[in-house]
Structure 1
Amino acid sequence: MVALQWEIESAETQNQINLKGDLTRFTLFPLWQQRQQILATLQANSKIIWNLIGIQQIDSAGFAFLCELLVASAKTGASVKITQVPNQCEMLADLFDLTELFQTFR
């Protein structure tokens, strides 16, 4: 198990959140605890990019939390995108019939 890490790169009109490690029920709690603080920070910018290139493993709990983060980010009025999506995310989106929702952020 690899601990989940995140880093926010901020620019004037854009924030990029880089996720690294495992996004599973065992590792997502620290990010879940700080989600409101992170989302409040992101609201000021017009574009939010969730970069998933560093995700090594994701389970159904991690995928559900990722979907929640994407939807919550979009509710701020920002343009929200995801990049470098691992195959595991695509498979979970298909499994839970959330491919259409997931594609809106591509």
Structure 2
Amino acid sequence: MYVCPAGQELNYRTTGRTGFQQYASDPEQCKSCPFLNECKQSKNHRRVVTRHIWEDSKDGVRNNRLNQGLWMTWVSRQSEPPPLAAISWPSTAPAAFW
């Protein structure tokens, strides 16, 4: 659920074929809104927020990418040499492979 600057809830309206969801405000409440000039200027006094259905997942990935603890873990793993078992050939390789 999304909220406009005046505190009005933007209700779910529809999902398009490309996966974008639309959330819209009530135009009757927006007509008398003090934030109308700052929020959105439209002829029908309606604020519409469009967001993709995967946007929540993408936000989570962005937050993990910017997390300092995860970044330091990645940096420390880059400086360590890989274990010998990770770079050796598997013992179950076919004979034609050797």
More strand by share: 1
Q: TM-score, normalised by structure 2?
A: 0.25
Between Structure 1 and Structure 2, whose CA radius of gyration is higher?
2
Q: TM-score, normalised by structure 1?
A: 0.23
